[in-house]
Amino acid sequence: METNKMIPITKPYIIDTDIEAVTSVLKTGMLVQGENVLALENFTQQYLGDVHVAAASNGTATMHIMLKVHGIGAGDEVIVPAFSYVATANVVELVGATPIFVDINLDTFNIDCTQIEDKITPKTKAILAVHEFGLAANIEAIQTICTKHNLLFIEDAACALGAQFNGNKTGTFGHSASFSLHPRKAITSGEGGLIVSKNKDFIEKCKVLRNHGVNPNAGHTGFTEAGYNYRMTDFQAALVLSQFKRFQDILDTKQSIAKRYLEEIKNSKLSLPKIENNYYHSWQSFHIVLNGISQAEAIEKLKTSGIGSNYGAQCIPQMDYYQNKYNLNAKELFPNSYNAWQNGLVVPLYPQLTDTEIDHIINSLNKL
Ligand SMILES: *Cc1c(COP(=O)(O)O)cnc(C)c1O
């Protein structure tokens, strides 16, 4: 096939009606957080059911606010997976608490719950669990541990909008949850995020911190907190809301591409993601682990075939900031996280892929 056109690792799925939704907001001249942000929050609430929602400027700001409102700060410890996007640990640092890393399970790329209890101390306040690449973490195990040790369960669901466990959607399991609307995720506002909680009061407090600490119920001296400006603009909300309305189609298409990959990629050097029956994977990323070919070589070979690919996530304790601060021997302490970082490979999976492109990706992977 013609390979002078690169198949990118991902591509936001923005169609004409999405663009029209944005331009119609621009024409009103009302650009900052307004009725479209509210409409996005209401739509998310309906989509997830039985939760309250606050939109914010990105999926890191969301978690920063959430940890603040949960009262997590200096002297506290938060359990995080050693393998994730670095923001998962950065937000713990941002509030002055200490991230306590736990290795992942290589079948799911999610936190290995059998290793959590060993890391719990009197300082532990929360488990910040990631649903990596769109697959829910081990919800039951995390809930059991949180109940037993009186910990908060916070979901970093940044890449898992639409994912399910036992028929329930991610974002509805923890005390609070965060979604990202970055272009690498299934639907996007450019930059954006959503905070979700069953606790209405919690969401109200998040909304105050999101908007300079302004408490709408406290009159004109009511700057009740030293807040942030983590608002989403109204045209961004319109952009993502328009995609959200056709989200099930987006998920279905991704599902059928992932199914082809799982059935047709056959190469002993590639180990494919595994999904248990009661999980619905939202396929933010299709993440393969390589053995017998290096990551650099695989990326280079695929690039020669016109296919974009990259590593999936970081082994966070190995990143410079965390090395300098905590000096943990990540390779020894978190071998699965280290392996996934060093040998993980994300390949293109997005709704606009054509059958020819999918064939080409499968054939190229089978030839690696
Ligand atoms: C994308 C992502 C984030 C960060 O979200 P932003 O909106 O880019 O700030 C955090 N955690 C995980 C697991 C992610 O995948």
| Contacting residues for 76 by C-beta, under 8 A, at least 6 apart | 97, 98, 123, 124, 125, 126
**Residue 96: predicted pLDDT:** 98
Q: What's the rounded Cα separation, in Å, for the pair 106 and 103? A: 9
Q: What's the rounded Cα separation, in Å, for the pair 72 and 256? A: 41
The verdict on the CB of residue 88 being under 6 Å from ligand 1 is: yes
> Distance from the CA of 285 to the center of ligand 1, in angstroms?
13
**Residue 305: predicted pLDDT:** 97
Q: Is the pTM of this model over 0.95?
A: yes
CA dist 137 to 61, 105, 128, 174, 238, Å? Answer: 22, 10, 11, 11, 30
The verdict on the CB of residue 188 being under 6 Å from ligand 1 is: no
Name the CA dihedral angle for 88, 93, 96, 97, rounded to a multiple of 10 degrees.
Answer: 60
Q: Which amino acid is at 278?
A: N
Burial class (CB in 10 A: 0-12, 13-18, 19+), 115: middle
Q: Which of 109, 108, 199 is nearest to 152 (CA)?
A: 199
Q: Per-block average pLDDT, block size 10, for the chain (368 residues)?
A: 76 97 97 97 97 98 98 98 98 98 97 98 98 98 98 98 98 98 97 98 98 89 94 98 98 98 98 96 98 97 98 98 98 98 98 98 98
Q: What's the rounded Cα separation, in Å, for the pair 130 and 80? A: 8
> Distance from the CA of 267 to the center of ligand 1, in angstroms?
31
Point out the ligand 1 atom lying closest to the alpha carbon of residue 131: 13
**Residue 336: predicted pLDDT:** 98
The verdict on the CB of residue 159 being under 6 Å from ligand 1 is: yes
Q: What's the rounded Cα separation, in Å, for the pair 166 and 78? A: 26
Looking at the chain, how many residues does it have? Answer: 368
At residue 265's C-alpha, the angle toward residues 259 and 270, to 5°, is: 120
